[in-house]
Each structure stands twice: as structure tokens, then as C-alpha cells.
Amino acid sequence: MARKNTDIRQEEIKQAVLDIIFTDGLKKLSTSNLAKRIGMSEGSIFRHFPTKQDIIISIIEDVQNDFIGQLRIIANSSLPPIERLQKFLCATVNYLTDNKGITMLLFSEASHNNDAALKSSLQQIFNNQKQLVSKIILDGIALGEWDESIPVENVAMLYMGIPVSLNIDLILRGGEFHADNFCSKMLQLILKILKK
């Protein structure tokens, strides 16, 4: 087969991982199937990643950089808190619906594996989102826009339920979804909680 650089091959492999998970389920994610999907030999995969686990870890790092990075920019922007919250929520919903393979991977890996490093990465992804939401809410309270007596930690937890249960829904129903309405409807509910 044609030769390509490791970085290109790594991307191909990671894409194939997500592809298989979404179309066939995590059970079918073997190095053998992975090689078939890309059209290369099984041995070649181990030229570009030392172990199968390292492929998963690399994907989770991508999520940290791309997804959480994007959310961090939104949360720290100078927009009014209400607009930040709206952008934040919609960005999350869009990411989840656009990357179904990734979300299934995160879910399953969390309960499937007992690897400490992996679990800690997943915990970070979850907690980072919670902290960024808390920041937006606290900013809104500081500006006098929202009720200062609300328990911010609990609202953030309730907020996190939105993407997480959306996730479950996506996994169970297999994909079809109408993001626009969902995003703004959920925002309105959260805003009612935040209202003075």
C-alpha cells in the first residue's frame, strides 16, 4: 500500500475508530476490523500507535483540545453572560450530534475500563464543562442579571444533564435529531432558574 506519514495515518486510524463505533458498536472495535476499514494491514496500525489503548487516549486528547477548547473560548469571551450561555449550549449540542462516535466512545470507555489515567481524563472533560458553566453563571450574577441566591454548583450539575441525557437519547435512538429547537428550549428552562 502507498506510504504516508505517521501523523496522516494516525488521523486515518482515529477516524476509523469513530466510524466503527458508530456504525457497528464498540464490540466490533478490534485491531483486525480497524485494519480492514482503512484498507491496510493489522501490523501497520502498530507502526503508528504502540497499543490500541493509545489510540483511544489520543482521541480523548483531541476532545480536550478541540471541544473543551472551543467551550473555554466561549465561556471566557466578553459577550453578555446570556449570550455566552446560549452559544455554549448550542456548541455542545452541535458537537454531540456531529460526533456521535466520540460520545459513544467516552460513555462506554468510562464504564468499560478501569484504567486510572483514562478515567481521570474523562473526569476532566466532565468537570471542565461544569466549571465553565459555573463561570458564566457567576459572571451573570456578578453583573446583577441573575438571582444571586441560586446554588451555582447545582445549576451546573443540572445543566450538565442536558448534554448527557441528549447523549443517551442519541445512542438509544441511533441518530435522528432536531438540534435547533432543543437548544433554545433548554436554554429558556435554565434561564427561568437563573431569573431573579
Partner DNA sequence: TATCTTTGTAAGTGATTACTTACATACAAT
Partner DNA sequence: ATTGTATGTAAGTAATCACTTACAAAGATA
Sorted by sequence, the CB contacts under 8 Å of residue 54 that are 6+ apart come out as none
* Nearest Cα to Cα of residue 110 among 162, 152, 171, 49: 171
172 binds, among DNA, a second copy, none (CB under 5 to 8 A by kind): a second copy
Among 162, 176, 177, 178, binds a second copy (CB under 8 A): 162
Q: Does 24 bind a second copy (CB under 8 A)?
A: yes
Considering only residues 68, 79, 91, 110, which one is a binding residue for a second copy as defined by CB under 8 A?
110
Q: Which amino acid is at 103?
A: T
Stretch that binds DNA, among 25-33, 72-80, 162-170, 171-179 (CB under 7 A): 25-33
Interacting residues with DNA between 51 and 90 (CB under 7 A)? 51-53
Residue 5, binding choice from a second copy, DNA, none, Cβ under 5 to 8 Å by partner class: DNA
Question: Rounded to whole angstroms, how far apart are CA atoms 29 and 131?
Answer: 33
42 binds, among a second copy, DNA, none (CB under 5 to 8 A by kind): DNA
For residue 57, the minimal CB distance to DNA (Å) is: 12
Q: For 55-94, give the DSSP string.
A: HHHHHHHHHIIIIIHHHHHHHTSSS-HHHHHHHHHHHHHH
Does the protein bind a second copy through residue 138 (CB under 8 A)?
no
Distance CA(126)–CA(111), nearest Å, equals 14
Q: Should residue 177 be labelled a site residue for a second copy when binding is judged by CB under 8 A?
A: no
Three cell numbers written together for 138 = 457567576
Instruction: Using CB under 7 A, list all residues that contact DNA.
Output: 1-6, 9, 28-33, 40-44, 46-48, 50-53
